[in-house]
């Protein structure tokens, strides 16, 4: 697959032109380790195209991505999946759709609702595995859709932070039966389109979804794809205009070139071979260490260990691994999330298996796996988030109205939402996840 953006940057740098344009480093200044990168760091000069008005090399590269994912349109984001989420929700607002959302959303979704003044009808899981993951029932989504008096959209996160997958095919069929749109935060699943079985949201019928190219693929941090399944759903110019509402007017050409090159990798037989080899190593590891370690079902590239089920503390395992130069994606008392990709090597897995073999945990009770609380809603998300506010200790917040969502990233799943009244349950969950203070409405 060709790489028009990457090739343009390389050819421009090799010509060593007089740079009478931004950026100010002129391809010369900068930290020594970044010197090569600065020669490729350009702006929208002649021939470089323009991201939100793409019709040249960027449009060609995006078409390459669309062909890989089987979409009508795929758009590049230098603002991560956050920009894609903002774009999807703005498009839904412009279409006048009600928003129904599974509750385990990323805080980027909440922040967008503040900006767009979007009310949300929440769908809660029937069963929970802490705040990060849960099992949702299609019947709950259908009941919510039946209540709507105007067109709607359904928003879900899949895979979730632990790697569990929603029933996207079932949700897509349900949404389309009610003339609703299905939006999927697939930030952790850009690789799913290339697994041996069909499990990417677009393949399963989602109308829109975002993929973070940097999370599971080789894109630079902050790169993402926004996928649109059908060309009759929305005009590409509308999508670009929506992205431009939130995106920087100075998108990074280094990031765009990394997306361009990522396409080439995804199209290569070598990538498929490497992906299959990593899948085999993951399966071998799970077979070797089950039932000593309990692994969460879902996306195979999320190697998530259920520490609570194994009778030890997740933070102990994470600390042990990091002492031996193996760094995890996320850990709390209950889980340790290890993210794998096609770039992991046999050496990586050999070291990981040795460490898991040698780890001798201290038996411990991890405590209650708190489900997401359901506090009283007092006012709208936007009203609370933009109101005068103050920060108070979490232990002194009972009865106060949550103003701004405060939750570490990762995992960035809000425990209590703007506009909700903080109760004892909210406080207990926040304390369990190490949150010591919270912003409340004055």
CATH number at residue 426: 3.90.105.10
Domain presence at residue 116 = no
> What pLDDT shows up at residue 371?
86
Query: In 10 A of CB 4, how many CB atoms?
Result: 19
- Which two tokens mark 63? 């078409």
Let me know whether 83 and 232 are in one domain: yes
> What pLDDT shows up at residue 413?
87
Range of the domain at 278: 269-358
DSSP 255-289: HHHHHHHHHHHHHSHHHHHHHHHHHHHHHHHHHHH
Q: Which of 58, 345, 69 is nearest to 191 (CA)?
A: 69
- Which two tokens mark 256? 């765009």
> What pLDDT shows up at residue 404?
87
> What pLDDT shows up at residue 408?
67
Let me know whether 66 and 161 are in one domain: yes
Let me know whether 262 and 291 are in one domain: no
Backbone torsions φ then ψ of 14, nearest 5 degrees: -65, -25
393/154 Cα distance (integer angstroms): 35
- Which two tokens mark 290? 């089950």
Let me know whether 391 and 254 are in one domain: no
Q: Is 176 helix (H, G, I), strand (E, B) or coil?
A: helix
Q: Give every CB contact of residue 31 below 8 A, 6+ residues apart in sequence.
A: none
> What pLDDT shows up at residue 211?
99
- Which two tokens mark 144? 């919510």
416/414 Cα distance (integer angstroms): 6
Q: Which helix (H) or strand (E) holds 331?
A: strand 330-331
> What pLDDT shows up at residue 434?
85
- Which two tokens mark 294? 């309990």
Let me know whether 200 and 58 are in one domain: yes
pTM of the model: 0.96
Among residues 241, 267, 293, the one where a domain terminates is: 267
- Which two tokens mark 422? 């903080």
Let me know whether 48 and 159 are in one domain: yes
Let me know whether 207 and 86 are in one domain: yes
> What pLDDT shows up at residue 369?
80
> What pLDDT shows up at residue 232?
81
Low-confidence ranges of the chain (pLDDT < 70): 366, 408-409
Among residues 232, 248, 267, the one where a domain terminates is: 267
> What pLDDT shows up at residue 409?
67
370/407 Cα distance (integer angstroms): 15
User: At what angle are helices 4-15 and 57-69 packed, to 10 degrees?
Assistant: 150
355/12 Cα distance (integer angstroms): 47
Q: Which of 361, 255, 383 is nearest to 306 (CA)?
A: 361
> What pLDDT shows up at residue 14?
96
Let me know whether 351 and 417 are in one domain: no
240/87 Cα distance (integer angstroms): 9
Let me know whether 33 and 47 are in one domain: yes
> What pLDDT shows up at residue 366?
65
Q: Which of 344, 345, 326 is nearest to 336 (CA)?
A: 326
- Which two tokens mark 440? 């409340």
């Amino acid at each position: 697959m060709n790489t028009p953006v990457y090739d343009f940057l390389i050819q421009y740098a090799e010509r060593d032109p007089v740079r009478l344009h931004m950026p100010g480093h002129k391809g010369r200044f900068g930290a020594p380790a970044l010197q090569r990168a600065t020669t490729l760091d350009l702006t929208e000069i002649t021939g470089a195209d323009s991201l939100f008005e793409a019709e040249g090399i960027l449009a060609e590269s995006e078409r390459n991505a669309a062909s890989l994912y089987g979409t009508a349109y795929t758009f590049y984001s230098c603002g991560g999946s956050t920009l894609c989420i903002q774009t999807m929700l703005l498009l839904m607002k412009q279409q006048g759709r009600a928003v129904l959302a599974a509750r385990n959303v990323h805080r980027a979704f909440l922040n967008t609702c503040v900006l767009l003044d979007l009310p949300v009808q929440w769908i809660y899981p029937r069963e929970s595995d802490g705040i990060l993951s849960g099992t949702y029932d299609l019947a709950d989504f259908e009941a919510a859709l039946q209540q709507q008096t105007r067109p709607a959209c359904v928003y879900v996160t899949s895979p979730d932070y632990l790697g569990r997958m929603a029933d996207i095919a079932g949700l897509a069929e349900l949404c389309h039966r009610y003339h609703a749109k299905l939006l999927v935060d697939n930030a952790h699943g850009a690789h799913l389109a290339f697994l041996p079985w069909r499990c990417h949201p677009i393949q399963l019928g989602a109308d829109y979804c975002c993929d973070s190219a940097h999370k599971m693929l080789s894109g630079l941090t902050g790169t993402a794809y926004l996928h649109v399944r059908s060309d009759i759903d929305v005009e590409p110019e509308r999508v670009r205009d929506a992205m431009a509402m939130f995106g920087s007017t100075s998108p990074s050409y280094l990031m765009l070139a990394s997306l361009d090159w990522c396409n080439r990798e995804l199209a290569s037989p070598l990538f498929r071979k490497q992906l299959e080899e990593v899948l085999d190593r993951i399966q071998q590891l799970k077979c070797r260490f089950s039932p000593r370690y309990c692994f969460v079902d879902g996306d195979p590239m999320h190697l998530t260990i259920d520490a609570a089920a194994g009778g030890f503390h997740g933070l102990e395992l994470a600390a042990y691994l990091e002492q031996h130069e193996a760094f995890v994606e996320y850990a709390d008392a209950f889980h340790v999330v290890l993210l794998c990709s096609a770039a992991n090597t046999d050496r990586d897995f050999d070291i990981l298996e040795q460490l898991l073999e040698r780890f001798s945990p201290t038996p411990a009770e991890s405590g209650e796996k708190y489900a997401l609380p359901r506090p009283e809603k007092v006012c709208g998300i936007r009203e609370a988030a933009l109101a005068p506010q103050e920060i108070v200790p979490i232990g002194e917040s009972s009865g106060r109205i949550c103003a701004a969502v405060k939750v570490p990233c990762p995992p960035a799943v809000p425990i209590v939402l703007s506009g909700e009244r903080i109760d004892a349950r909210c406080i207990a969950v926040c304390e369990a996840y190490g949150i010591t203070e919270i912003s409340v409405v004055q």
